[in-house]
């Protein structure tokens, strides 16, 4: 769910030491959240905000989703919520998840769990009333943090020191966590890009050793993770580590991250405005078949193809043929590869995107069929090459001359 408008939080205590960490403000002030937690704790159960909301609050980052973990079994969560006049939807009851709606806001409430059996893609779970068991089945220590309604943080697996150091570490043994779900390899690099400054050496070694397990993961899930990874503020180091471990070549054959740091620098130098981030970075990597490897949508695949074509054109020509956004993406990629955009390039792209060919088929009644198509294509090429300056009369002469029409002479 979307948190309240004020995202301010405070990390009242250091991540190390005897005094427990505490968060305050922001999403904790939501009456709807307080009501859901109170329904469960009032019946004697633990009910805690868990995972990303706690992590981001402690880091001072925006909180996008608020998940709740509880010792109450799912049917008990349903019963208590309904009795309190809240809407309870069994969105994932087999896995212990109930969506509880309070004051129009939906919260996923999941019973504490422990893994019973895993196969590298999914896990069979058993419900638990033990927070430590629930924490031990999570992926990274910084994601295994819990907070009660007062903001007091519970840290069953030592995630606070890791969070304070921005150190990404698996819960327990890295190999065990990965073999439970091989997608965690990509999640490791994604979280490193977003939240990490350093990576646990055991984690890096385990990702490299077990990388071939990613063959068990669907391309749709891999694509989902790669989109998020490439959307990080600066994914260059994480992607470089992926390449070093042999992971990048498995998920994106042919990808070359060598110019990614320069692209990040170009983005900072020239600005990106509202331009989509991950498509540009994916295009820079120039994988052999990114659309197939990541199961891109038809629109996403077309965008990648157009950016690749735009790289061989001037900025204004690219804007004319593919639109301003695609042209801007190509300009930034070219800048990363050492071709700096000229002064006023934004205005040049706007001019190219707004340009319209001054002639159409009706202006060439002398021609038909393939000859007409070829003539219009020649005229359009001349129009673009002239920086959109040629007028309709000039272009008509070029079109007909290109076809060797007898009524057009060089001195006309």
Q: Which fold has domain 1-165?
A: Beta Polymerase; domain 2 (3.30.460)
Could you tell me the strand order of the sheet in which 153-154 lies? 87-92, 97-102, 105-111, 67-70, 47-50, 146-147, 153-154
User: What mean pLDDT value characterizes the chain?
Assistant: 90
Q: In this predicted structure, what is the pLDDT of residue 14?
A: 40
DSSP 152: B
Mean pLDDT value across residues 369-388: 94
Are domains 1-165 and 182-251 of this chain identical in fold? Answer: no
Mean pLDDT value across residues 77-105: 93
Q: Which fold has domain 182-251?
A: Hydrophobic Seed Protein (1.10.110)
Q: In this predicted structure, what is the pLDDT of residue 18?
A: 31
Q: What is the rounded radius of gyration, in angstroms, for the C-alpha atoms of the chain?
A: 28
Is 11 a residue whose pLDDT tops 60?
no
pLDDT above 70 coverage of the chain, percent: 90
| pLDDT per residue as tens digits for the range 164-223 | 999 999 999 999 999 999 999 999 999 999 999 888 899 999 999 999 999 999 999 999
CA distance 311 to 328: 10
Cα–Cα nearest to 60, from 166, 161, 186, 149: 166
Tokens representing 149 are: 């309604």
Domain boundary assignment for the chain: 1-165, 182-251, 253-355, 356-402
Tokens representing 223 are: 């694509």
Q: In this predicted structure, what is the pLDDT of residue 16?
A: 41
- Tell me how crowded residue 118 is: count the other CB atoms within 10 A of its CB: 16
Exposure class string for 393-402: b at 16+ Cβ within 10 A, else e? ebbbbbbbeb
Cα 77–83–85 angle (5° rounding)?
A: 105
| pLDDT per residue as tens digits for the range 239-272 | 999 999 999 999 999 999 999 999 999 999 988 7
């Amino acid at each position: 769910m979307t948190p309240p408008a004020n995202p301010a939080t405070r990390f009242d205590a250091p991540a190390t030491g005897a005094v427990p960490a505490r968060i305050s403000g922001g999403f904790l002030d939501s009456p709807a959240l307080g009501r859901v937690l109170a329904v469960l704790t009032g019946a004697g159960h633990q009910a805690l905000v868990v995972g990303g909301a706690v992590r981001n609050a402690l880091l001072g980052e925006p909180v996008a989703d608020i998940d709740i973990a509880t010792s109450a079994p799912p049917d008990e969560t349903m019963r208590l919520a309904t009795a309190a006049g809240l809407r309870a939807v069994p969105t994932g009851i087999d896995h212990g998840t109930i969506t509880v709606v309070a004051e129009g806001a939906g919260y996923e409430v999941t019973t504490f769990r422990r893994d019973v059996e895993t196969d590298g893609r999914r896990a069979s779970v058993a419900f638990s009333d033990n927070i430590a068991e629930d924490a031990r089945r999570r992926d990274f220590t910084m994601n295994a943090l819990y907070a009660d309604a007062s903001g007091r943080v519970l840290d069953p697996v030592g995630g606070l020191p890791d969070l304070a150091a921005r150190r990404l570490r698996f819960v327990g043994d890295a190999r065990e966590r990965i073999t439970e779900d091989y997608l965690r390899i990509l999640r490791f690099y994604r979280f490193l890009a977003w939240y990490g400054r350093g990576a646990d050496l055991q984690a890096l070694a385990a990702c490299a050793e077990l990388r071939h397990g990613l063959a068990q993961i669907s391309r749709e899930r891999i694509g989902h993770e790669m989109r998020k990874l490439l959307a990080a503020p600066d994914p260059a180091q994480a992607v470089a580590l992926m390449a070093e471990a042999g992971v990048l070549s498995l998920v994106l054959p042919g990808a070359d991250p060598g110019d990614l740091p320069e692209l990040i620098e170009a983005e900072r130098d020239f600005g990106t405005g509202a331009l989509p981030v991950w498509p540009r970075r994916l295009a820079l990597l120039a994988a052999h078949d990114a659309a197939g490897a990541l199961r891109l949508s038809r629109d996403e695949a077309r965008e990648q193809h157009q950016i690749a074509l735009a790289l061989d054109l001037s900025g204004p020509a690219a804007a004319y043929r593919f639109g301003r956004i695609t042209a801007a993406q190509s300009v930034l990629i070219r800048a990363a590869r050492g071709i700096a955009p000229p002064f006023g390039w934004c205005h040049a792209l706007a001019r190219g995107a707004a340009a319209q060919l001054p002639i159409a088929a009706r202006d060439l009644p002398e021609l038909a069929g393939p000859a007409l198509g070829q003539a219009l294509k020649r005229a359009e090429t001349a129009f673009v090459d002239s920086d959109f300056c040629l007028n309709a009369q000039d272009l008509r002469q070029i079109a007909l001359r290109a076809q060797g029409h007898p009524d057009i002479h060089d001195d006309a």
